[in-house]
Structure 1
């Protein structure tokens, strides 16, 4: 997460999102540091492509979303993005990509960990809501401030914020447009851990690799069943439990897991 040279930072040709494979983890970094990672259309499309890569590559088991520089994101670059809104809305998903907010019916099946430092506004909060585990720095500030700009949160906050944090907590921040600190984000469940600012990335990195050390098919099945319960209710999730257990018991990873249990060691899973 080092700073770029002044020349590189000012280059409009530089990618807005860095993407790096680290074992079974895909490191996805917002990379428009000179604008506090405000998201223009190019950044949103590159982020969609990064999510698409995570989903489509069978050797990538976990995504880690972070930001270069001191701030996660100052939100949307409305001057750039507003011009791309058509009568049908905003299309930010190129072929092969997945909408980063997953509000068009296409969902990631792999877990996301997110590391937040500094400012985290609008689309940043919605990325936190679509992530499974969020680590925040102590000085981070969050804000779902669209109502201050005359629009509504259109990246899923109206759906996920109440579901994750409770109706009153979500409305307290969405319809006032006020910002809140990391302690409040932890209290309402938007983030799962708050650490010193210089430890955020490393802590999120450790969590992502801890997940990647588990059986990926089992992780994905656990994630899918939990999401099904949220989306369609307990009964729908209950109906899938036994068939999923049977399916997983037939995998090579299950055999390796049982073998490691008997030998009192750790398995190296294959994803098969």
Structure 2
């Protein structure tokens, strides 16, 4: 039983994971990240879960790494931090992941949000990489994912000044896909999750893989992956079911095969 998470299976192929360290604005500890990695591994293995929504609370999605824990670690401890393996497990999650963000998403919290495939933000959300104020720099992918998402200039500004941006700025920069009222953030994320969960499972995984590949490879390599994935999907029963359902004007019943 996780101590720092609440995990709910909501039906319809959707699972909701809520970070629960409200007394510390959901600051990320080694234990919390390990629990999150385990929760995602369980969702990965569950054939009835197609989409995961990850959220925090109204004050904070996650306000960064836990500074008390960081202060207790020496340099060797940081370099061999078990959180790095947890981050890698989170990165490898292959099913669609939606982040529902209210309040602070700072440092590791911003990096965690960027691990999601879609970010829905409340009007009160703030995204930032303030590590420079502590004499350090982002260490969970922030210097790599942020410029790929918002561009070099804004990423440089956020990382080098430590200043956060609000939800509307994040929307204009492409960091989030939608901004809504804070009280509707989770509801909207779950609505999208249910819509996505109704699609063909294999198509979802391969489409996600191809889209992520576009962010870290050259066009020719990305096109080769896309062609291979398209060919694989062309031979599936779900492709036949999708075409038949369209022609018969009925909802498709995908099986994942």
CA distance in 2, matches of 1:173, 1:59: 39
SS at match of 2:72: helix
SS at match of 2:48: coil
RMSD across aligned C-alpha pairs, in angstroms? Answer: 2.0
Flag structure 2 segments of 5+ consecutive residues without an equivalent.
none
Aligned equivalent of 1:196: 181
Q: How does 1:166-181 map to 2 (within 5 A)?
A: 166-181=151-166
CA distance in 1, matches of 2:180, 2:72: 38
Question: Within the alignment, does 1:157 sit opposite 2:142 as a pair?
Answer: yes
Question: Within the alignment, does 1:21 sit opposite 2:12 as a pair?
Answer: no
Aligned equivalent of 2:225: 240
Per the normalisation by structure 2, the TM-score is 0.91
Q: Deviations over 1:54-109 (max 9, x none)?
A: 22333321111001353212211121144356264311267xx663653xxxx222
- Equivalent of 2:167, from 170, 175, 182? 182
Q: Deviations over 1:140-160 (max 9, x none)?
A: 122210011111101111111
Per the normalisation by structure 1, the TM-score is 0.87
- Equivalent of 2:45, from 48, 53, 56? 56
8 A Cα contact 1:49 1:93, kept in partner = no
8 A Cα contact 1:52 1:98, kept in partner = no
- Equivalent of 2:28, from 39, 45, 48? 39
8 A Cα contact 2:2 2:35, kept in partner = no
CA distance in 2, matches of 1:136, 1:48: 23
**How many residues were matched structurally?**
254
Q: How does 1:68-83 map to 2 (within 5 A)?
A: 68-83=57-72
Aligned equivalent of 1:5: none
Flag structure 1 segments of 5+ consecutive residues without an equivalent.
1-12
Report the structure, 1 or 2, having the larger helix content. Answer: 2
